[in-house]
Structure 1
Amino acid sequence: MYIIELNYPGTWLQFQDQNFKHEIESMLRSLEGIVTEAAISLSMYEQAVLAPRDRRQEMERDRELRGAIDSQIREEAGEDYYQNFDKYRLKSEKQLRIKKAELGIIPSSYLHKIPFIHAHTFVYAVDSFGKFLEELVLYEDMPEAAQNCLDEFNRLLPSVRKIRNSALHIEDRSRGYGTWKDKKKGKKMETSGFLGLSNLEGNFLCYTIDDGTYQKVEISVDVLNILGQIMNHLLASFQWEGSPRIEPHY
């Protein structure tokens, strides 16, 4: 499990306006929660990708299960088994699925999807981190470092927002539409003949974005560390009071 250490220089922010203070503290807690989500989703992504599978053993297990079920069905059906083979083949398939479910065996198509789910969760968390930074810099009396943090985020992770938008609007991208304005006009993207949606290439989640280009964002500890570094820089830029603390707590 990846754990990102966040260093709070104090317990409370130093602002005269108490309502404003509580609002900014709430946003910082939300940012901390997003870093936590990113760390957990990355850990689960890597666990899913690296989970060992013995294909040969799985095939042998399936052969034994199917053989036992088919033998029982043939015995019960008698000659009708060969007269209505398709009916009994379907019955065998259903019983095999029930048996696998009882044994806790997950369908291969489900196993294939698990890394994609965690990769998307990671990208959504990274994008949400950027959105909170964008909102923070709109406040007056924000330290200059807040804008620097946002600029650094955008510099290091320029494709995150577009990829997240394509993932969120995959129903439009799958039909070749880019921006909502182009969709209203019925104008489709120019994609050079390739439309890629929710592809995993190594540790990169890839999408065709709204301008028709194919973009990637890395699902990695390097990206997670960017969030941690920016968050710690942001925390250090405020004036605090009270005892310093480290998150997450145990």
Structure 2
Amino acid sequence: MIVFEIVTPGTWLDYEDREWTWRIEGQLRFLESQFFEANAALNLFIGAQSIGRSVADRENWERDLQRRSEIRHAVEKMHAGIQPWDNFDEIHFETEVRFKRERWATGVVPCEFEHNLSFIYTRAFLYALDAFDKFFGVLAKEEKVPADVATHHAKFADAFPHLRGVRNTAQHLEDRPRGLGAGRKPQPLELKPVENEFINAPNGGVLILNGLMCSKYGSTMSDGHYGEIDVSPESMLRLRETLEAVLSSFRWHGPRRHAPSA
């Protein structure tokens, strides 16, 4: 497990306007909450990536074959009076359904579930970063906040330039497969060139949706360009640098605070 720690310079903000202070402290807590949500999603993603579909050895293969045969005989008895080859498809279908349900009841996880875990946690990481950005943007526009906050927000946008575009595609997958951009009246996409270590489309024309290449989650964005977010400790380090810089922009009093909890 990878834990990214945060140190807040104090316990409470040190400003005279208590109503303003209470509101800003709440927004800072939201930023911290999204930070740890991203940290949790990263750990879940790494765990899911480490799960390999077990390769059945000969003993298990023979056991499954024998069990399928037993189930098949039971199904054939239910179709007494009909030659098995006359009803082969139905017998095979029912045999497979019974076999799979029996396996699931013992705790065997369908490969579709294992495959999708990485995508679920990847999108959780993406949404946590996006929520962090949204709260950050609101905070940066608050009156009387230190000017450095807006500067750090701009640096955050530079560190994650594709965040909003990738998130929007993830939320609007009903449009991109139809070749449409964003908005109430989305316009046709002009697919731009894509050239990286996994994709080579120098002339464009390639639509990429819900792509996961190692730790990089990417999609074609509404402007036709390909964008990606790296679900990695490096991204969390940049996120931590941003959050701690924002916290340090304010005046605090009281003992320093360390998070997360034990």
Q: TM-score, normalised by structure 1?
A: 0.92
Contact 1:206 1:217 in 2 (8 A): yes
Instruction: State the partner residue of 1:91.
Output: 94
Identity of aligned residues (%): 30
Aligned residues, how many? 247
CA distance in 2, matches of 1:57, 1:218: 35
Deviations 1:86-120, CA, capped at 9 Å, x for gaps: 22222212211210221111211221111011111
Instruction: State the partner residue of 2:140.
Output: 137
Contact 2:38 2:128 in 1 (8 A): yes
Deviations 1:206-240, CA, capped at 9 Å, x for gaps: 10001111122111110011111111111111111
CA shift for structure 1 position 85: 2.1
Q: Residue 7 of structure 2: SS of its match in structure 1?
A: strand
CA shift for structure 1 position 129: 1.2
Deviations 1:143-183, CA, capped at 9 Å, x for gaps: 12211211211111101111001101111112111121552
* 2:161 is the alignment partner of 1:149: no
Q: Which runs of 5+ in 2 are unaligned?
A: 192-203
* 2:232 is the alignment partner of 1:220: yes
Instruction: State the partner residue of 2:4.
Output: 4
> In the superposition, relative to structure 1, how do residues 24 and 95 fare at CA in structure 2: closer, same or farther (>3 Å)?
same
Q: What's the RMSD between the two structures over aligned residues?
A: 1.9
Contact 1:206 1:216 in 2 (8 A): yes
Instruction: State the partner residue of 1:235.
Output: 247
AA aligned opposite 1:210: S
Contact 2:53 2:111 in 1 (8 A): no
Contact 2:71 2:98 in 1 (8 A): yes
* 2:172 is the alignment partner of 1:169: yes
* 2:74 is the alignment partner of 1:72: yes
Instruction: State the partner residue of 2:212.
Output: 200
Structure with bigger helix share is 1
Equivalent positions of 1:177-192 (< 5 A) are: 177-180=180-183, 182-183=185-186, 187-191=187-191, 192=204
> In the superposition, relative to structure 1, how do residues 124 and 62 fare at CA in structure 2: closer, same or farther (>3 Å)?
farther
Instruction: State the partner residue of 1:56.
Output: 56
